Chains A and B, each alone.
Chain A
Amino acid sequence: MSDLRPTLTYTEAELVQGLKARDEKVFSYIYDHYSPALYGVALKVLNDENAAVDVLQEIFLKIWRGVERYDADKGRLFTWMLNIARNTAIDALRSRAHKLGQKMQEIGNGNFPLEQFTVQQSIDHLGLSKVLDQLNKDQRVIIDLAYYRGCTQEEIAKILDMPLGTVKTRMRNAIIQLRNILKQVE
């Protein structure tokens, strides 16, 4: 999180090394610095605090136990942790949806509860609201369905009732718009 926290006292390589050496101080440091971002992902995916807390613990155990699988050549540590967070949370969501037989039903009757993408009180509330104000609702929904729900292009086309080509174009435009807004917010 170097661009947000210039006072970072460990380099990424030191953090990885510390995790591999089972250094609990490093684990604690990583938790302090990254848990809000990862918890934010779990909350957005699951929209349920209890479930998100369980998933957050699972995420950190996977980081602690799985650091040997982290490959610095393939990306930054934060990217790796975010992927773990997203995948763990989406798996938890799917297993819950599967149990309830919910997902297909929601998609099938075209009644996907898009309103459930509520905005949690984020740490950087001002920054977030500046972004969300400038991103229109359709753009937000399409990004969030892809990132936080793990929906495929086909699923999104079905949910939003639009052709596949339109989904791709809208997604691209939404991300381009997001990037333009972020440049102004920074």
Chain B
Amino acid sequence: MSEQRFITSGIIELYVAGMATEQEARELEAATAQFPELAAEVEACRRDMEQYIRLQAVAPPPAIKEHLLRMVSDETKLIE
């Protein structure tokens, strides 16, 4: 598939939404490695999808952070 056909086929949109089939994803990834402009197009679409996700950000309950930091700290001590 040519670069332009990828752009008009809708695969990029399916891909960033996590809905491309494995084969579609493989084809697109192979093509982006070859065509920088296509890679930029995928990245632009991905950034917009991420913006949508980010708009749905919710602050987690405050106690979680301390708990996580303790787990991480204990783990580091164990390794050292």
**Contacts of A93-129 to chain B: CB distance below 8 A:** 119-124, 127-128
Contact B69 A36 (CB under 8 A): no
Instruction: Verify if B50 is at the interface (C-beta below 8 Å from A).
Output: yes
Q: With A24-B73, A146-B17 as given contacts, are A56 and B60 in contact (CB-CB < 8 Å)? A: yes
CA distance A143 to B60 in the complex (A): 24
Q: With A61-B71, A175-B45, A178-B52 as given contacts, are A147 and B57 in contact (CB-CB < 8 Å)? A: no
CA distance A147 to B79 in the complex (A): 36
CA distance A130 to B21 in the complex (A): 31
State how many angstroms separate the Cβ of A142 from the closest Cβ of chain B. 8
Chain A contact residue count (CB 8 A cutoff) = 57
Q: With A24-B72, A60-B68 as given contacts, are A168 and B10 in contact (CB-CB < 8 Å)? A: yes
Contact A147 B51 (CB under 8 A): no
By size class, the interface of chain B is 35 or more
**Contacts of B19-56 to chain A: CB distance below 8 A:** 19, 21, 45-46, 48-56
Contact B13 A175 (CB under 8 A): yes
Q: With A153-B19, A175-B13 as given contacts, are A120 and B61 in contact (CB-CB < 8 Å)? A: no
CA distance A27 to B68 in the complex (A): 10
Counting chain A CB atoms within 10 Å of each CB, which of B19, B52, B56 scores highest? B56
The count of A-to-B residue pairs whose CB atoms sit within 8 angstroms is 131
State how many angstroms separate the Cβ of B74 from the closest Cβ of chain A. 11
Contact of A4 among B46, B54, B58, B67 (CB under 8 A): B54
Return chain A residues, CB-CB under 8 Å to B51.
Answer: 182, 186
**Contacts of A18-36 to chain B: CB distance below 8 A:** 22, 24, 27-28, 31-32, 35-36
27 A–B contacts from the bound complex (CB under 8 Å): A24-B76, A28-B65, A35-B64, A35-B65, A39-B59, A40-B54, A40-B56, A44-B56, A49-B61, A52-B60, A53-B64, A56-B60, A57-B71, A65-B75, A119-B56, A122-B56, A124-B54, A124-B55, A128-B56, A147-B49, A152-B21, A168-B10, A168-B14, A171-B13, A175-B16, A175-B17, A175-B45
- A-side interface residues toward B, CB under 8 Å? 1, 4, 22, 24, 27-28, 31-32, 35-37, 39-41, 43-44, 49, 52-53, 56-57, 60-61, 64-65, 75, 78-79, 82, 86, 119-124, 127-128, 131, 143, 146-147, 150-153, 156, 168-169, 171-172, 175-176, 178-179, 182, 186
Given contacts A52-B60, A120-B58, 14 further A-B contacts (CB under 8 A): A28-B65, A36-B58, A39-B60, A41-B53, A57-B64, A64-B75, A147-B17, A151-B19, A152-B21, A156-B19, A171-B13, A175-B16, A175-B48, A179-B45
